[in-house]
Structure 1
């Protein structure tokens, strides 16, 4: 039996707004939208869907599914996303881009200056879900 990671489901109060925000942040595409579900995927997933036999089952791209919940977020996430800009990116400029899109800085106890300073920035999306923007990577 083959099994693969298929998607991440994200509880949201406003599924359309959250999906659009994350699609813009990641340069992903909305591939399905209804009142109670919005799906975003990376562009490679759209290409793979056009010819699914060209990509092995285990190597197909994952998507994110936004679903509605009545309650807002109340505590720190138990799991979070790490995003990384490419190696030629300016980390500070990317943080500013995300803030300009609606992210906000979050203090989860990280050390931000001195010899033990972390190399990432903790942010939250418009509904308060924490994520990290790592230093540029290959």
Structure 2
């Protein structure tokens, strides 16, 4: 039986190198490579496992590609990130805002357990409530 591997999520950016660097900093990941056509961000441990894991078990990365136009509408796809229960969720949200994220309102109810933020180019993502797994 064939199956596909989630290889990467591709994000258009006016400054693909800067946005890749921002996400690497936000996630504690590494910019694995960059050139004029793309910049890829991977978890730091992924490079160690790429050679030893089965193809289907290698984790996905994030790839940023250059475009001339700015983002103009709400994303139809977004990332959800969660802190561990031993982490300070509020401090993590403040850290992301200090890096250049901003809070955005996408019409969510007031009593939700997540916070919607946008990266420096306006791509929405959520910081969920703390999780054990």
Q: Give TM-score scaled by structure 2 length.
A: 0.94
After superposition, give the CA deviation of every residue in 1:77-127 in whole Å (9 maximum; x if it has no partner). 001110111111111111101100000000111223xxxx00100000000
Could you tell me which residue of structure 2 aligns to residue 123 of structure 1?
117
In structure 2, distance between residues paired with 1:4 and 1:36: 23
Structure 1 moving runs of 4+ over 2 Å: none
Q: Is the 8 A contact 1:44 1:61 kept in 2?
A: no
Could you tell me which residue of structure 1 aligns to residue 22 of structure 2?
21
Aligned-residue Cα RMSD (Å) equals 1.0
For residue 90 of structure 1, the aligned residue among 88, 91, 111 is 88
Structure 2, unaligned stretches of length 5 or more? none
In structure 2, distance between residues paired with 1:18 and 1:86: 25
> Mean alpha-carbon deviation: is it higher for 66-75 or for 35-44?
35-44
Structure 1, unaligned stretches of length 5 or more? none
Residue 36 of structure 1: how far off its partner (Å) = 2.0
In structure 2, distance between residues paired with 1:125 and 1:72: 13
Secondary structure in 2 matching 1:132: strand
Secondary structure in 2 matching 1:43: coil
Q: Give TM-score scaled by structure 1 length.
A: 0.91
In structure 1, distance between residues paired with 2:55 and 2:43: 16
Could you tell me which residue of structure 2 aligns to residue 7 of structure 1?
8
Asked which structure has the greater CA Rg, the reply is 1
